[in-house]
Amino acid sequence: MHVLIIGGTHFLGRHLVIALVQSGHQVTLFHRGQTNPDLFTGPDYRNRVKHVFGDRKHTDDFAKLRGRTFDVVIDTCGHMPADVTNAANTLRASAESYVFISSVNVYDFTHEYVDETTPVLLLPPDADSEIFDIQYYGEFKALCEHAAQTAFGEDRTLIIRPGLIVGPHDPTDRFTYWPYRFSRGGTIVAPVGPEIETDFIDVRDLAEWIVRVSQRNLSGVFNATSPPHTLTLGSLFEICQAVTQTASIIAWCTEESLIAHGVEPWSDLPLWTGSNPKMPGFLNVHVTKALQAGLRFRPLSEIVRDTLTWIQNEPTDRRWHAGLTEERERELLER
């Protein structure tokens, strides 16, 4: 295949390029050249990956792709419906299919059971559809899905709705915090108890599966995350202890005490969402369709080990985007 990736140098995009090249495909990256501009320029990629620099917000920039044809377009960075419409309308005559990377956050999680037929969120009438607002992230993604399907047609559009994506090069630290924290050892503040459920998908599993389903020209909508009720904090922490082989003690703290001391679910203690009776479907997203289409998951120990190896080779002064600082954790333990 010859695949055009809109984006391609950031997290999922970079792993998609690796998976495509390893499978023998040709890749063209359309990006601004601002994120990891030197990525995929070495000898291993020189004959497989072409870079076209442009801004998707500028229709004229897509003219740089004129005369090229593609088997698949993979849109990894669509957040505004107008941008997706612009790309899809421009490329529909030169590509066979359009793969849009969306999110499970499009769903109305007040539904207890969530699958691809669950209603998606609607942007409130008083919200501006022309200005992105992070509080309506799911609503905007749903609009982007509709824009892609409208431009390419539903039979030529594949919508992927991942859950939390984790693994090497994750810029959010929402999983990375835990392997790294266990590598430091000591007493570790943890939320509630080992039975707390979570879900996520390794970026490499997601990328490799997207390549396979793109080859098959599948269309429609697919959720892509771990099956419900298969992952707990307890199982993750056991793996973290085994992989890091450091002396650590887990201090399970009640939700009441954590909230009382100003600890924020998800950001201060990643993978913990806190009790939210208004969102019963958040950890009940079903992936039966994706499993039937060949989605597979690598061992959790491999995800922990590879993520830890990556982060330990990053600059020591990097800014963390999630998790407790050493000082904050020490303060909580003292209290």
Q: What CATH number corresponds to the domain at position 68?
A: 3.40.50.720
In a domain, 219, yes or no: no
Q: Are residues 131 and 190 in the same domain?
A: no
Q: Are residues 191 and 158 in the same domain?
A: no
Same domain, yes or no, for 236 and 135?
no
Structure tokens at 89: 């309308």
Domain co-membership, 107 together with 190: no
DSSP state of 128: -
Query: For the chain, how many structural domains are there in total?
Result: 2
User: pLDDT tens digits for 126-174?
Assistant: 998 889 999 999 999 999 999 999 999 999 999 999 999 999 999 999 9
Q: What's the Cα-to-Cα distance from 272 to each of 167, 190, 226, 233, 258, rounded to whole Å?
A: 17, 9, 16, 8, 12
The enclosing H or E element of 77 equals none
Does 182 lie in the same domain as 152? no
CATH number for the domain that contains residue 253: 3.90.25
CA dist., res. 127 & res. 18, Å (int) = 38
Contact residues for 146 (Cβ-Cβ < 8 A; gap 6+): 81
Domain-ending residue, one of 162, 188, 209: 162
**Do 123 and 257 sit in the same domain of this protein?**
no
pLDDT in tens, 77-113: 999 999 999 999 999 999 999 999 999 999 999 999 9
d(CA 92, CA 73): 9
CA distance 282 to 264: 17
Position 288 in a domain:
no
Q: Does residue 133 lie in a domain region? A: yes
Please state the pTM of the whole predicted model.
0.96
Q: Are 120 and 182 in the same domain?
A: no
Map tokens 């998606």 to a residue. Answer: 120
Among residues 47, 87, 95, which one has the least CA distance to residue 70? Answer: 95
* Contact status, residue 252 vs residue 194, Cβ threshold 8 Å: yes
Domain membership flag for residue 77: yes
Q: Do 187 and 140 belong together in one domain? A: no
Structural domain boundaries, residue 185 = 177-199+230-275+299-334
In a domain, 246, yes or no: yes
Residue 154 inside a domain? The answer is yes
Q: Are residues 113 and 194 in the same domain?
A: no
Whether 132 and 183 map to the same domain: the answer is no
Rounded distance between C-alpha atoms, residue 240 and residue 234, angstroms: 10
Q: At what angle do helices 177-184 and 233-244 cross, to 10 degrees?
A: 50
How many CA atoms within 13 Å lie on the side-chain side of 5? 30
Tokens representing 16?
């998609």
CB distance 82 to 58 below 8 Å: no
- Residues in the chain predicted with pLDDT less than 70, given as ranges, are none
- Residue 215 domain-assigned? no
Distances (CA, A) of 62 to 32, 72, 158: 12, 16, 21
Q: Are residues 24 and 82 in the same domain?
A: yes
Which amino acid makes up residue 107?
Y
Are residues 15 and 105 located together in one domain of the fold?
A: yes
C-alpha–C-alpha distance, residues 181 and 177, integer Å: 6
Residue 319, in any domain of the structure: yes
